[in-house]
A and B are shown apart, each in its own frame.
Chain A
């Protein structure tokens, strides 16, 4: 796919309609572990600038879907299309280069590296350096490193983290670590970013800030966001489309209002109403 994201411009992006032409589609996606079917017959589409939510009770297979989308697991059945191109047989790194970035439920930062270096690793494929320049620190090395630094700082600044640039990533407070993971994912210049429980462990004010940030990501970078989240307030507030998963199967799809009223969803979350 064409890389559509460049350095974020700080101008305020005007209100506009969500681009619903799909960037990411799955068709009848499924995976078995041994005899156990973890995800089955998953068909969904995420629009080019849509904020979509993937929800479901614990153990529904949500993170497994993310692992399938990023080819950490190879699907047993079905196809994944990114911008119309199949990602079958690609490595996780290649899928990222095609345009899918992600964060992790249990934070996975490069914890003994500095914050800015974490972002620079994210920028790895956007700013090229020749190997020989890496050994000698000449042949255009200074110029490319300057570009790394300025782009990393700009991205950090976007999330108000520029002052933390030279801290060790592992020593950051929890909320900042989660934010840094998102910055690192965005640095890879993706067409869609997958956020795995971004609000986990956050207090209400941090969650409110996160909601703003997610909207800002979509509006400034013009990319799609697919998120897994248990915080229903967040999901219902910012997602334009929601997919509900239970026992590895889609039980409902629709807008937040449709999902709220869907009896199957209520049943999955609260259990079956007992008669009598």
Chain B
């Protein structure tokens, strides 16, 4: 029973990673940049939801919508102000700018909300499910997280496969220059990608804090790094890869914590990542890139 319990917890945590990793992977696929500030957008999303419920007394679901709207706007602003001017700059310059944005968000949060941890109350209001005579408890947060993850995955896949914007995204990720020549508005496409990624980050932030209710300005950092790892693990740029990578990472982390050592759980996660990349150098579902000689 503890095995199943851990498995469910792992899938639940992994679903959060997956939702964050989707943001990383979409931005990477299209803008070819590692957006290190993505983890901090999660944190902002959680704070917004917290404020909406605690100070304004709004319905938790409404608070999620508000968080998504705020984060979407934030994502578009960050992209427009900090990343767009650097479209042709070296990758490292963009990376450092992203780090600057990350510092900026963390320190803004510190100024606005202070360093004292906020106790995030779960947005899920129904009870946990008790199975096998109380031996196996599935928390309501797990259920909601997993369902949210599945819904997002399906919606995103459909969007990218069927919609005009989705097709534009795929075109831009294949070849920016050619897409532009075909009349695709590259700047708009990139902005939309950031918007979607940031909205997903808001959802992830709320789900993460519902399960682990301590909210501080650095709440987003470690899940951000782990989700980035998950995206690479699955093959960065690949949407199913981010999903698979996120969920596997969550399971490995929870199992590592339960069966090996709670202090070494992160080390185990990263060790598995290294092994996977050595066997499959572009991740589980990543495309093999051969340089033409």
Contact = CB atoms under 8 A, between A and B. Distances in A.
Interface of A: 63, 67, 72, 104
B112 interface: no
Interface in B256-293: 293
A196 B145 CA distance: 57
4 contacts: A63-B293, A67-B293, A72-B293, A104-B293
Interface in B31-82: none
B68 to A, nearest CB: 44
Contacts of B293: 63, 67, 72, 104
Interface of B: 293
Nearest to A105: B293
Name the 4 nearest CB pairs between A and B, nearest first: A72-B293, A67-B293, A104-B293, A63-B293
A115 to B, nearest CB: 23
Nearest to A66: B293
Nearest to A104: B293
A179 B99 CA distance: 43
Nearest to A102: B293
A72 B290 CA distance: 11
Nearest to B291: A72
A67 B293 CA distance: 8
A63 B293 CA distance: 8
A63 B292 CA distance: 11
A72 B291 CA distance: 11
Contacts of A104: 293
A104 B293 CA distance: 8
A185 to B, nearest CB: 15
A72 B293 CA distance: 8
Contacts of A72: 293
Contacts of A67: 293
A4 to B, nearest CB: 27
Contacts of A63: 293
A93 B283 CA distance: 28
A264 B50 CA distance: 78
A84 B293 CA distance: 27
A91 B285 CA distance: 28
Nearest to A196: B293
A202 to B, nearest CB: 22
Nearest to A64: B293
A273 to B, nearest CB: 35
A39 to B, nearest CB: 14
